[in-house]
Amino acid sequence: MMFLSDGDLQSLVLSLELAGSVTAILLLIGTPIAWWLAHSRAWWKVLVSVTVAMPLVLPPSVLGFYLLIAMGPQGPLGMLTHTLGIAPLPFSFAGLLVASVLYALPFMVQPLQNAFEALGDRPLEVAATLRASPLDAFFTVVLPLTWPAFLTAITLSFAHTVGEFGVVLMIGGNLPGITRVASLQIFDHVEALEYAEANHLALMLLLFSFLVLLLVYARQPARRQDGVS
Amino acid sequence: MMFLSDGDLQSLVLSLELAGSVTAILLLIGTPIAWWLAHSRAWWKVLVSVTVAMPLVLPPSVLGFYLLIAMGPQGPLGMLTHTLGIAPLPFSFAGLLVASVLYALPFMVQPLQNAFEALGDRPLEVAATLRASPLDAFFTVVLPLTWPAFLTAITLSFAHTVGEFGVVLMIGGNLPGITRVASLQIFDHVEALEYAEANHLALMLLLFSFLVLLLVYARQPARRQDGVS
Amino acid sequence: MSDIVARFRLDRSGFQLDVDLVLPGRGVTAFFGTSGSGKTTLLRCIAGLERAPEGLLSVLGEVWQDQSTWLAPYRRPLGYVFQEASLFAHLSVMGNLQYGVKRTKSGQLTHFEHIVDLLGIAHLLQRQPQGLSGGERQRVAIARALLINPKILLMDEPLAALDVQRKQDIFPYLERLRDELAIPVLYVSHDHHEVARLADHLVVMEAGQVISNRPMSVAMAQPDQRFQRDEDIGAIIDGQVGAIDMPWHLARMDFPGGGLWMRDHDLPVGKKVRLLILARDVSLARHPPEQSSIQNSLQGHITAILDDTHPGLALVQVRVGTSLLLARLTKRAATALGLQMGESIWVQVKSVALI
Amino acid sequence: MSDIVARFRLDRSGFQLDVDLVLPGRGVTAFFGTSGSGKTTLLRCIAGLERAPEGLLSVLGEVWQDQSTWLAPYRRPLGYVFQEASLFAHLSVMGNLQYGVKRTKSGQLTHFEHIVDLLGIAHLLQRQPQGLSGGERQRVAIARALLINPKILLMDEPLAALDVQRKQDIFPYLERLRDELAIPVLYVSHDHHEVARLADHLVVMEAGQVISNRPMSVAMAQPDQRFQRDEDIGAIIDGQVGAIDMPWHLARMDFPGGGLWMRDHDLPVGKKVRLLILARDVSLARHPPEQSSIQNSLQGHITAILDDTHPGLALVQVRVGTSLLLARLTKRAATALGLQMGESIWVQVKSVALI
Amino acid sequence: ETMTIAAAADLKFAMDDLIHNFKSTHPNDEIKVVYGSSGNFTTQITQGAPYDVFFSADIGFPRKLAQMKMTASPVIPYAMGRIVLWSATRNASKMSLSSLTDPSITRIAIANPKHAPYGQRAEEALRSAGLWDKVEPKLVYGENIAQTAQFVQTGNAQVGIIALSLAVNPQLASQGGYWLIPDSLHSPMEQAYVITSHGAENPLAHQFVAYMNSTPARAIMTQYGFVLPSVATTK
Ligand SMILES: Nc1ncnc2c1ncn2[C@@H]1O[C@H](COP(=O)(O)OP(=O)(O)OP(=O)(O)O)[C@@H](O)[C@H]1O
Ligand SMILES: Nc1ncnc2c1ncn2[C@@H]1O[C@H](COP(=O)(O)OP(=O)(O)OP(=O)(O)O)[C@@H](O)[C@H]1O
Ligand SMILES: [Mg+2]
Ligand SMILES: [Mg+2]
């Protein structure tokens, strides 16, 4: 990377690591939530649906502030980690993860929920008559058929986490190599009026993200219409 | 609003105005883009798809910085507005609109694109044989059938715009009554250590957004499976 | 000029549609052919849902497609019943029915109740499509297409999901459509019974090509296994109601060459009818029968002895008056009877159907 | 204990399924009934896709559902062919076929090629479902269900979208399945021909209830308009191949009461067969015929004279040996012949079908 | 008349009082204030932001504007910024810089030295005290001085180095206490304001600037912990 400093490079790697982990975690927890939302008939699922989207409404640094309180020594989360003997979450990569996962949750849940609803029950029924357990059917039928929605969910979650700034700053404390992700680094460059460095890093960030997302898209199977035909 | 100051109230109204307008504009321009992406067979549509998501990857205030330069007197957009005799975009509500629309575009486009792809051609074909022109069919068939996706797109765009901070700060200049939206106001409260005020406003913001989104959801028609059955 | 001219060429991986057809501008034209032979694809080309680049299509004197013309599907005054279910999931049954009506200039609903009753869907009007059974859905789809008063009706196996009783109920309406409104119907079907009852004209397709295109009566008299199940080979004869035997609930159908008794269908004397006489229902005898339950005996002359679908069987063509009948019998019986071309013979008709 | 016991009650808006059935544990049981009568719903209950709260279901001695038991659908060793297309859009035809096979313990593919050939889908294996015609899709779906060696096969109008030729091709396999593998098949159909050919047992449904549940031969001998089109009324008789007339391609089917000549089907002498003799193909005469093309004459005694579906027609039940045949004739002819109960009469059979 | 002031965040409390006081003599005029980061304001002013007066936390920014000829007045220093050691959980008034090596202190918050003036002074002070290498692993960085204070206030950092003007605020003064870091340990932090070209024609802007030199204004500034420059130098 001829025109990137070590610090810049480090922040870039950190960003992609964070975005990758957040996306992976979101796939694990967002998918069941979306599934539940798509299939439950509880009247209050609308509330859950809207609640999932709520963190978005707060300015990120304010959300970060509230999270910092919650994760701090007096906060409920902070007490929990203390009791469990886990290292405190603020100013650590783990803290960034938790906060980013919370913040990006709606980007994962909502597209998936729609896709699951649109898919309907028939493909699962067909799979069941072909001896596939529900879990089996999920991986071998639902997943491939709703792949475009997963793609969207992954794209949005990933991109959004890469660009996240306010929450990450508040929780992470901008520690080089630990929580100083590329978005913080670019911001610092801009604030310090180092526009050339900012531009270079921003360009690299865009490029990398572009490549990562393109890679995801390139694995997209042929277009399909419905679950079954 | 017993515990909201005039300034808080003003910012709240401004936020909802901004988010509402952005969502409306996005519906107008995001829908055709999503439609094109869903139906085009051009190989480079993947690139367009990923490009739409790209603004997300930059930290908002950095994106805001670039936009500010572009919209400023020396920037291309600024020169354009100057030539057209339009008031300069930065530090105006119009500028906020443009920037927020750009930033929230992927939240509108991606869910819609998925839904259009999943819907397939059959419902449009049926509508055509029943004398509906493509536009007619779009409004009377595609729109109602992809309503859940529109809902998601609206939710995400709206919530995201309400919570936007970095871009809005940079482009808007935090001018009371003009560009000081609730997210800026809350941030100012937090920065000024006025936590009670921050909490109140944040609560109101959440409440309002919750109500707006709930209203949108409440109009959701009965769950459906496929476009045609 | 009031015909339908259709010329399409369409390339698909592993399939090529290549047709050049002139179809009558009125009556029911049936498209028959094995699964995958291109019937649906052809109908889609006609509806404009598939765009064959060098295609030519003119319907009743109006050009819908040629080198310079392309009428968008929604501008083509046609009704289309799709092979699979195609009800809008977001509209009730009523909403589905009204969708097209609202968009039709002559959007009058005078025959609304009639069609709804006919298809037995009056009790479903407020229901959502998802809750309907397969047959219920298809009945709604048919009603929806009929309600827009199309100039031509395209039906892609519309009755495949219906039970026998419903089919019987719908037939008369389709027949009346053909006879009274004089709009042409292009009708894809796998069911030879349906085709025999409904069609005036028959197009047989195979592997994307038209292998036969002729009037139904001609097609029927020249047995063709690709189209007919062997039980379904028979002759079609035009005639009229000649007499009615009220106490016995019978009616005599007269045609050039004689009269045949069949069960009464409440048709007035003089009414023109079309009869289907299956070869399997016709037997031959040297002498007029006595004291047999077979009542319909006619005298005719053998005009041809044809091979049948099975090596043990023969089809004998007999001219009765000016009409040609077909009789199926075993070759052994034909030999035992010593049948010869030109000979005089008694024809016994066991059963006659109106079509 | 090797029967199928099914008791379900399910409430839907405007529809209620309420059945209590004991079905034979082998052979094909046909479900017949008008559109919307609940056939699909019943099959779904059996497959566990619909959960009827107080239901009871035991299949061949295994309880799949009762108060305390609920076997998840994927644990029920059944094959299901859905009424509508149901191929996985993300898998090729091959992928669809292998999906179930991979999940079956005895996942051997020995009969893979056989089934693929039988359904005429060998050339489609690499294709995607979207590009298939309606009939092609359904053939793949049938093959997919057959390939998993189910203990019971549920088929919901599997052939509705197939053309006659394909239906004919599939029948023998379904029959062999029934005869050789002895797995029960529950078969929903609108098509009386299909039912008559395939079924050993017949369940007729109406408005969510079972209105008739009996062996096919019983059902056939007691004409019922709800189930039979009037052309399809006839008798089913068990017999065996008695003689073969090679030069004339004929075979004689013997049964208690006599023998009937029909076209040869390459069956060996002594082979047990089941015959369908339609009432419309049977005529009655006072005297044995001479010099008629009708070769099959038998002597019998009139055991009943029944009303038919049309007031002008009568059905006459005749005992030949120990078998009961049905003859349809006009009431006028019946009267002209002076038919009386118990009288001796000559039966002429125009046509016999193997089922 | 109306005018808009862009003010560095550390002025928040003082500025509210100043405007209140100023308005007693200008009851019909409207004054809007925007608080934020000085760097941001500089960028925005170069792009035509409608700010009439700009109070910067660091004299470098208004000077830059002056160079670009975007100012309508001289760059006028109004205070010398001071930094303090502050804690919400301990009595920081009994601490000194060397206490930072205490192993019970695991996190120390400072503003980002890369672009925040207070952060730069904090780093200088730590380096001068010879403590930088020892405490650097414990440092967490706030984007500005207010965020730095929040790290401490929420208890996530035990100690922080923040602006004196913040530490004297009753909100923070009620918790823990502060220890003034000797200004010998860091370079002077000159704070200055300027009338922008946007405010050139605004009489109110000139009146407010004049007011800043008045006795009541200087009293308010002192009260909020700003050390006034002895002489108003002009550059
Ligand atoms: N989109 C497509 N891409 C590729 N091949 C296609 C496509 N649509 C149809 N085909 C092929 O074209 C051929 C004709 O299909 P079509 O649906 O017209 O047949 P059909 O005569 O209507 O058959 P069926 O009676 O089974 O409905 C089939 O072999 C089918 O596989
Ligand atoms: N999910 C549902 N909600 C409400 N009603 C339903 C639902 N599914 C089916 N029904 C109703 O139950 C009745 C029986 O439907 P079912 O599909 O079992 O009929 P069927 O006998 O299979 O008809 P067909 O021959 O047309 O397929 C119909 O009246 C249908 O409208
Ligand atoms: Mg077809
Ligand atoms: Mg059904």
Structure confidence by residue, pLDDT tens digits, D242-274: 888 888 788 888 888 788 888 887 888 888 887
Q: What phi and psi values does residue D11 have, to the nearest 5 degrees?
A: -105, 130
Q: Region B110-129: what's the mean pLDDT?
A: 89
* C240 beta partners: C254, C272
Distances (CA, A) of C75 to B130, B136, C69, C148, E16: 9, 13, 12, 13, 70
Under 8 Å CB pairs connecting chains B and C tally to 79
Distances (CA, A) of E120 to A127, B154, C301, E144, E160: 64, 44, 120, 11, 14
C4-227 CATH: 3.40.50.300
Pick from C68, C15, C22: which is nearest to C38 by CA? Answer: C15
B87 contacts chain E (CB < 8 A) = no
Interface of D with A in 113-142 (CB under 8 A): 128-130, 137
* E192 beta partners: E56, E77
pLDDT for the residue D177: 64
Task: Write out the H or E segment, with its range, that includes residue E140.
Answer: strand E139-142
Partners of residue E152 in chain A, C-beta under 8 Å: none
d(CA D263, CA B150): 65
Give the distance from residue A180's alpha carbon to the nearest chain E alpha carbon, in angstroms.
10
pLDDT over 60 (residue D24): yes
pLDDT over 50 (residue D317): yes
pLDDT over 70 (residue A5): yes
Among C34, C40, C190, which is best to mutate for testing ligand 1, by the most ligand atoms less than 8 A from CB?
C40
Greater confidence (D49 vs B225) lies with D49
Q: Region D280-305: what's the mean pLDDT?
A: 79
Q: Which residues contact C82 (CB under 8 A, 6 or more apart)?
A: B122, B125, B126, C141, C156
Partners of residue A163 in chain B, C-beta under 8 Å: 55-60, 63
**Which of A180, A193, A194 is best to mutate for the E interface (most E CBs within 10 A)?**
A193
Confidence of residue E123 (pLDDT cuts 50, 70, 90): very high
Which of B25-34, B204-213, D76-85 bottoms out in mean pLDDT, i.e. has the lowest?
A: B204-213
DSSP, collapsed to helix, strand or coil, labels residue E39 as helix
Interface of B with A in 131-190 (CB under 8 A): 148-149, 152, 155-156, 159-160, 162-166, 183-184, 186-187, 190
Greater confidence (C328 vs B27) lies with B27
Which residue of E lies nearest to A192 if distances are taken between CA atoms? E115
Distances (CA, A) of C72 to B128, C8, C48, C68, C75: 8, 16, 7, 13, 5
Structure confidence by residue, pLDDT tens digits, C226-250: 556 666 677 878 788 888 888 878 8
Question: What's the start-to-end Cα distance of chain A, in Å?
Answer: 49
pTM, full prediction:
0.82
Structure confidence by residue, pLDDT tens digits, D94-134: 999 999 888 887 655 567 888 888 778 888 999 988 888 77
Q: Which of A118, A165, A190 sits opposite B118 (nearest CB)?
A: A118
d(CA C17, CA E121): 82
One fold for both C4-227 and C234-353? Answer: no
pLDDT for the residue B88: 84
Average pLDDT over chain D, rounded to an integer? 82
β D344-349/D282-285 pair status: antiparallel
B221-B225-B228 Cα angle (round to 5)? 95
d(CA D107, CA D240): 37
Q: What phi and psi values does residue D185 have, to the nearest 5 degrees?
A: -125, 125
Q: Do residues E97 and E125 make contact, with C-beta atoms less than 8 angstroms apart?
A: yes
Q: Is D1 exposed, middle or buried (0-12, 13-18, 19+ CB in 10 A)?
A: exposed
- The total of other beta-carbon atoms located within 10 Å of residue A41's CB is 6
Q: Which residues contact C35 (CB under 8 A, 6 or more apart)?
A: C190, D133, D134, D135, D136, D139, D161, D162, D163, D166
- Percent helix, percent strand, percent coil in chain C, to nearest 5: 25, 35, 35
Which residue of D lies nearest to A146 if distances are taken between CA atoms? D90
pLDDT for the residue E234: 39
C74 contacts chain B (CB < 8 A) = yes
Confidence of residue B125 (pLDDT cuts 50, 70, 90): very high
pLDDT over 80 (residue D146): yes
Confidence of residue D56 (pLDDT cuts 50, 70, 90): very high
pLDDT for the residue A22: 95
B17 contacts chain E (CB < 8 A) = no
pLDDT for the residue B224: 45
Q: Is E89 exposed, middle or buried (0-12, 13-18, 19+ CB in 10 A)?
A: middle
Q: Region C251-263: what's the mean pLDDT?
A: 84
Compute, in angstroms, the gap from residue C35 CA to the centroid of ligand 1: 8
**Using alpha carbons only, how large is chain A's radius of gyration in Å?**
20
pLDDT for the residue A77: 87
Helix H, strand E, coil C: the string for chain D is: CCCEEEEEEEEECCEEEEEEEEECCCCEEEEEECCCCCHHHHHHHHHCCCCCCCCEEEECCEEEECCCCECCHHHCCEEEECCCCCCECCCCHHHHHHHHHHCCCCCCCCCHHHHHHHCCCHHHCCCCHHHCCHHHHHHHHHHHHHCCCCCEEEEECCCCCCCHHHHHHHHHHHHHHHHHHCCCEEEECCCHHHHHHHCCEEEEEECCEEEEEEEHHHHHHCCCCCCCCHHHCEEEEEEEEEEEECCCCEEEEEECCEEEEEECCCCCCCCEEEEEEEHHHEEEECCCCCCECCCEEEEEEEEEEEECCCCCEEEEEEEECCEEEEEEEEHHHHHHHCCCCCCEEEEEECCCEEC
Q: Which atom of ligand 1 is nearest to the CA of C41?
A: 18
- The total of other beta-carbon atoms located within 10 Å of residue A184's CB is 26
ipTM value for the complex: 0.79
Q: Tokens representing C324?
A: 């040609």
- The total of other beta-carbon atoms located within 10 Å of residue C37's CB is 25
pLDDT for the residue B78: 87
pLDDT for the residue D173: 65
String of b and e for A92-112 (b: at least 16 CB within 10 Å)?
bbbbbbbbbbbbbbbbbbbbb
Distances (CA, A) of C95 to A203, B120, C89, D252: 53, 21, 10, 60
Q: Which ligand is nearest to the CA of D165?
A: 1
d(CA E184, CA E198): 38
A6-226 CATH: 1.10.3720.10
Interface of A with B in 105-134 (CB under 8 A): 106-107, 110-111, 113-115, 117-122
Confidence of residue B222 (pLDDT cuts 50, 70, 90): very low
d(CA D284, CA E115): 112
Q: What phi and psi values does residue D225 have, to the nearest 5 degrees?
A: -65, -25
DSSP letter (8 states) at residue C208: T
d(CA A220, CA A143): 12
Which range of D292-296, E65-69, E224-228 scores highest in mean pLDDT? It is E65-69
Compute, in angstroms, the gap from residue C129 CA to the centroid of ligand 2: 10
Distances (CA, A) of B162 to A55, A61, B20, D311: 11, 13, 9, 78
Confidence of residue E235 (pLDDT cuts 50, 70, 90): very low
d(CA B35, CA B33): 5
Average pLDDT over chain B, rounded to an integer? 85
Structure confidence by residue, pLDDT tens digits, C116-162: 887 788 889 999 888 887 778 888 998 898 888 888 999 998 877 67
Structure confidence by residue, pLDDT tens digits, A55-108: 877 888 788 888 888 888 888 888 888 888 888 888 899 999 999 999 899 889
Q: Which residues contact B47 (CB under 8 A, 6 or more apart)?
A: A214
Compute, in angstroms, the gap from residue A106 CA to the centroid of ligand 1: 41
pLDDT for the residue B22: 95
Give the distance from residue B224's alpha carbon to the nearest chain C alpha carbon, in angstroms.
7
Partners of residue B63 in chain A, C-beta under 8 Å: 163
Under 8 Å CB pairs connecting chains A and E tally to 61
Q: Region C15-30: what's the mean pLDDT?
A: 89
Percent of chain C residues past pLDDT 70, beyond the cut: 87
Q: Which ligand is nearest to the CA of D31?
A: 2
Class of domain C234-353: mainly beta
Q: Do residues D30 and D201 make contact, with C-beta atoms less than 8 angstroms apart?
A: yes
d(CA A97, CA A24): 11
Q: Which ligand is nearest to the CA of D207?
A: 2
Q: What phi and psi values does residue E131 have, to the nearest 5 degrees?
A: -105, -10
Structure confidence by residue, pLDDT tens digits, E146-182: 888 888 988 889 999 999 888 888 777 777 788 999 9
**Which of B66, B193, B195, B197 is best to mutate for the E interface (most E CBs within 10 A)?**
B193
Task: Write out the H or E segment, with its range, that includes residue B163.
Answer: helix B147-163
Structure confidence by residue, pLDDT tens digits, D199-245: 888 898 888 889 888 887 777 666 665 556 666 777 878 788 888 88
DSSP, collapsed to helix, strand or coil, labels residue C263 as strand
List of chains touching D (3+ CB pairs within 8 A): A, C
Q: Do residues A219 and A51 make contact, with C-beta atoms less than 8 angstroms apart?
A: no
D85 contacts chain A (CB < 8 A) = yes
Q: What phi and psi values does residue D203 have, to the nearest 5 degrees?
A: -115, 125
Interface of E with A in 156-175 (CB under 8 A): 156-157
Give the distance from residue A160's alpha carbon to the nearest chain D alpha carbon, in angstroms.
29
Q: Do residues E41 and B169 make contact, with C-beta atoms less than 8 angstroms apart?
A: no
Greater confidence (C70 vs C106) lies with C70
DSSP, collapsed to helix, strand or coil, labels residue E160 as strand
Q: Which of A106, A198, A225 sits opposite B62 (nearest CB)?
A: A198
E224 contacts chain A (CB < 8 A) = no
Pick from D25, D33, D31: which is nearest to D3 by CA? Answer: D25
Structure confidence by residue, pLDDT tens digits, E21-40: 999 988 888 898 988 888 88
Q: Do B229 and C130 touch (CB under 8 A)?
A: yes
pLDDT over 60 (residue C186): yes
Compute, in angstroms, the gap from residue B61 CA to the centroid of ligand 3: 57
Q: Which of D90, D103, D148 sits opposite A221 (nearest CB)?
A: D90
pLDDT for the residue C43: 93
Partners of residue D192 in chain C, C-beta under 8 Å: 164
Tell me the domain boundaries of chain C: 4-227, 234-353
pLDDT over 50 (residue D280): yes
Q: Which ligand is nearest to the CA of D44?
A: 2
Q: Do C80 and B145 touch (CB under 8 A)?
A: no
Q: Region E13-17: what's the mean pLDDT?
A: 88
Tell me the domain boundaries of chain A: 6-226
Which residue of B lies nearest to A37 if distances are taken between CA atoms? B223
C145 contacts chain B (CB < 8 A) = yes
pLDDT for the residue D221: 65
Structure confidence by residue, pLDDT tens digits, D147-203: 888 889 999 988 776 766 667 777 766 666 666 666 888 999 877 777 777 788 889
pLDDT over 90 (residue B129): yes
pLDDT over 50 (residue D323): yes
d(CA D231, CA D281): 9
